[in-house]
Structure 1
Amino acid sequence: MNRRSLLSALPLLAAPRLAAAQAPVRIVDVLGREVTLPRPARRIVLTQARHVLAMGLLHPDPVSLVTGWGDDLRRMNPPDYATVRARFPRADAIPIVLRGQADGLSLEKLLDSQPDIVVAGLGVLRDGLAERLADMGIPVVAIDFFYDPMKHTRRSMDVLGKVMGREDRAAAFDAFYVAHRDTIADRLKGIGAARPKVFIHAHAGGTACCASPGQGAFDSMIRFAGGHNIGADLILGAIGDVSLESVITQDPAIYVATGGPYAGRGGIPLGNGVTLEAAQRELVAVLRRSQLDVLPAVKAGRAHTIWHGFNDTPAHIVMLQALARWFHPERCGDLDPGTTLAGLNDRFLAIPMAGPHWADLPAGAF
């Protein structure tokens, strides 16, 4: 094809994508609610700013689409917010429309941001918020990577893909996610009741001992990875506290602490700007301070730490691999979460995940 022919063909090649960008978009969210947009959204409000990290799996500049968001990312996870801001300086200019929980929502600031759509986490959709915004002409879609990630992640990413007009990227991510998820499921076929008891020590070192997921949050991921979450036996809600005595009595086969910045409260450092050695040192220190070093699992070296942020991102496929490897080394010991994380960074993430996001107890620590 000569240069003139190629130039004349360019509008025809671009036409399908341009048409798709202007066509109405039908979206069914994780609650089964249907929303139709006249075209993919150009102005998005996030009730949880952390969901910009999920958007970054599909869009090269997710911040460019955000006109308002919650304060959760900069308040609870300053290192990741710093990474977002370094790559996309516009982040600092985005108005805060929600501070803390649902009752901290400013309708005035939300309306001032003139969104095409509001993308809301399930925890914010209370007291008829979606209906009130719809009455004002602002559609709302619900996504969820926290309350039931094994059920809602694929639909949530489909929602984000449609909202942003990035359905091709959403399909590519879905294929990546499903392939890795199904590998774990295939390895664990037939385990039946052979599920080791697992204690997930949430926010280890950043709060008093011992916070843990109950029948929500990490629980579905623990079960999928072939473990039995003792927190689900002891806590009625999604999260709660268990006593040191209860943990010792339960005698879990595996201990997993979650780590991260925790809004400056301390704890096991993991993620951006952290070294593996620092994470391992603090894991040992937390176990000693919490008196959990008496657990047989810890003495046997079956103690680990993992980034708490995996509880609200589709990148949790990395955590699933790590958990399965720790719970069932005979079946899943060759799974490689490091390679999976590298694949997410190379193929998808506009906001890369740097630094260690999990660590094992150093040999001979106890």
Structure 2
Amino acid sequence: MLILPNMRKVLVGLLLVVGSVALTVPQPAWAQVQAIVDIEGRRVDINLPVRRVLLGEGRLLHLVAAVVGENPLDHVAAWRDDLIEADPASYRQYLEVFPDLENLPRFSGQEDSLLDPESAIALDADAVLLNVDARPAMEDAGLEEKLAAVGIPLLYIDFRHDPARNTEPTIRLLGRLFDQEKRAAEIVAFRKREIDRVTKTVDAHDPERPRVFIERVGGYTDDCCLSFGDGNFGKFVELAGGENIAKSAIPSTFGQVNPELVIAADPAHVVVTSAEWEAYVPGGRWIPLGPDADINKARNKLEWYLTRPAYTGTRAGRERKFHGIWHQFYNSPFDFIAIQRLAKWFHPTLFTDLDPDETFRNFHDRFLPVSYRSGYWVSLVDE
């Protein structure tokens, strides 16, 4: 069975260091077993509300913080360390407000990593949340049944593969877990309203859709040309009034197209998803986007992408319509911000009154325990 490297030893060691972090807080007197359906359509019996969950996706901290409306650490038994490495700017931001975050037990691994039941027991978790990517490996190893046998419910969530369909039910799922269904509904309504501001305008005016190429994980690898099919950022492009040129070439959410296809498609815009990835690719060509990003540095790094052979002679290259955007919009409850930002790049005259910065600031003020800090996107085109 494939398990996260030395996971049990790592977690036990962390528990010893922080002094028995796993609390033995009794379940609330009003808690009762209820059936809940996860993103994969699995019916799971669970004692609600839960006290503490194990986050198989560290970036779920963004949603937990929004849904619980208080210190998110009170509700997390442990988390995967992807936020620390993949989004260090957000980690630093939360660490400033919640210094104990540094001591929260954590484990390493990829989106499709496995989790052994013994670790979940040791951490006193009431439930485990995993990305849908992990399900095939969990089923192959029989770990769904093993977790159920020790009384720890497993729930699958998704912002990554099909956010257009699964973001709303994922938000509502967490709202039910933490007895915050009203607050979750408010988050859902906020998200829908901000997406509607884009899609209703596009539908009403039916503008010409510019051809767009999304370069996925820019700077994480030297490979070209990683992109999205009809999911995730590919869908964001369509909702924002653009035409995703990789849609017909990539049958699933993620994939790769050859440079010749990009040149032939002649995109009017190139959007690079990237972030501060020093932990993965020291000194790489990634663009350090995220809260408090140095935009001048980000713009200088974005300039290099004009030299990629895949963009030779394209309209985007001639008109310098290259943009960088925070990669983590693809795996968080903040997809509506990316949709607004793309819409303003594609149709600047149509969306003069739309301000994604203000939208994100309002969301932080209303739902998050950290203050908004700009730095999530950059462009070579003056606005």
- TM class, shorter-length: 0.7 to 0.9
1:84 aligns with 2:94: yes
2:258 paired residue among 235, 243, 249? 243
* Equivalent-residue separation in structure 1 for 2:353 and 2:317 (angstroms): 22
* Other-structure match for 2:289: 270
Q: Which residue of 313, 316, 334 corresponds with 1:315?
A: 334
The structure-2 alpha-carbon separation of the partners of 1:188 and 1:145, relative to structure 1 and needing over 3 Å to count, comes to same
Please state how far the C-alpha of 1:21 moved relative to its aligned partner.
Answer: 6.2
Distance 2:37 2:273 in 1: 33
Instruction: Confirm whether residue 111 of structure 1 aligns to residue 111 of structure 2.
Output: no
Superposition deviation, residue 46 in structure 1: 0.8
CA RMSD across the alignment? 2.6
Partner residue, 2:66 = 57
Question: In structure 2, the residue corresponding to 1:118 is in which secondary structure?
Answer: strand
Q: Secondary structure at the match of 2:48?
A: coil
Find the counterpart in structure 2 of residue 138 from structure 1: 152
Q: Choose which of 319, 323, 327 in structure 2 pairs with 1:300.
A: 319
Give the match for residue 8 of structure 1.
Answer: none
When residues 339 and 26 of structure 1 are mapped into structure 2, their CA distance, relative to the original with a 3 A threshold, is farther
> In 1, distance between residues paired with 2:58 and 2:229?
25
Displacement of 1:270: 0.8
Provide the aligned length of Structure 1 versus Structure 2.
347
Counterpart AA for 1:79? A
When structure 1 is superposed on structure 2, of 340-349 and 243-252 the one drifting more is 243-252
SS in 1 for 2:128: strand
1:290 deviates by: 5.5
Local SS of the residue matching 1:52: helix
Is 1:177 aligned to 2:187, yes or no? no
Greater alpha carbon shift after TM alignment, 62-71 vs 350-359:
350-359
Amino acid at match of 1:46: L
CA contact (8 A) 1:260 1:307 kept: yes
Alignment correspondent of 1:6: none
Q: Could you tell me how far apart the structure 2 residues matched to 1:83 and 1:180 are?
A: 24
Report what 2:5 is aligned to.
none
Change (3 A) 1:63 1:318: same
Report the structure, 1 or 2, having the larger helix content. Answer: 1
Contact kept? 1:97, 1:110, Cα under 8 Å: no
SS state of the match for residue 305, structure 2? helix
1:228 maps to what in 2? 243
Deviation (angstroms), 1:278: 1.7
Q: 1:259 to 1:103 in 2, by over 3 A?
A: closer
- The 1:104/1:29 distance shift into structure 2, 3 A limit, reads closer
2:57 is matched with which residue: 22, 31, 48? 48
Cα deviation digits, residues 321-357 of structure 1 (max 9, x gap)? 1112222334334321011011011111124452311
Deviations 1:269-296 (A, max 9, x none): 1113422222212111232356636421
Q: Does 1:38 align with 2:44?
A: no
Structure 1 residues 87 and 290: CA distance shift in structure 2, 3 A: farther
Quick check: 1:198–1:254 contact (8 Å CA) kept in 2? yes
2:257 maps to a residue whose letter is: V
After TM superposition, the structure 1 stretch with the greater mean CA deviation from structure 2, 340-349 or 84-93, is 84-93
Aligned partner of 1:230: which letter? I
Distance 2:32 2:116 in 1: 31
Say whether 1:337 aligns with 2:356. yes
Is 1:261 the counterpart of 2:261? The answer is no
Range moving further from structure 2, 117-126 or 27-36: 27-36
Larger mean CA deviation between 218-227 and 307-316 belongs to 218-227
Please list every run of 5 or more consecutive structure 2 residues that lacks an aligned counterpart in the other structure: 1-27
Paired with 2:343 and 2:262, the residues of 1 have a C-alpha distance of: 21
AA matched with 2:52: R
**Contact 1:98–1:104 (8 Å) recurs in 2:** no
SS state at 1:81 partner: helix
Query: How much identity, in percent, do the aligned residues show?
Result: 33
**2:330 is paired with a residue of what secondary structure?**
helix
Answer yes or no: is 1:324 the counterpart of 2:334. no
Relative to structure 1, the CA distance from residue 39 to residue 237 in structure 2 (aligned partners, 3 Å threshold; closer, same or farther) is: closer
Letter in 1 for 2:110: G
SS of aligned partner of 2:212: strand
Partner of 1:350: 369
1:3 aligned residue: none
Match of 1:285, as an amino acid?
W
The one-letter amino acid of 1:239's match is F
Q: TM-score, normalised by structure 1?
A: 0.86
CA distance in 1, matches of 2:32, 2:216: 44
Rounded to whole Å, the distance in 1 between the matches of 2:243 and 2:227 is: 13
Matches of 1:86 and 1:252, distance apart in 2: 41
TM-score (norm. length: structure 2): 0.82
Contact 1:199 1:231 in 2 (8 A): yes
Give yes or no for contact 1:120–1:142 (8 Å, CA) kept in 2. Answer: yes
Query: 288-297 or 215-224, which moves further after superposition?
Result: 288-297
Query: Take 1:215 and 1:171, find their aligned partners in 2: how far apart are those partners?
Result: 27
With 255-264 and 149-158 compared, the bigger mean Cα shift is at 255-264
Does the C-alpha gap of structure 1 residues 300 and 72 become closer, same or farther in structure 2, counting only changes over 3 Å? same
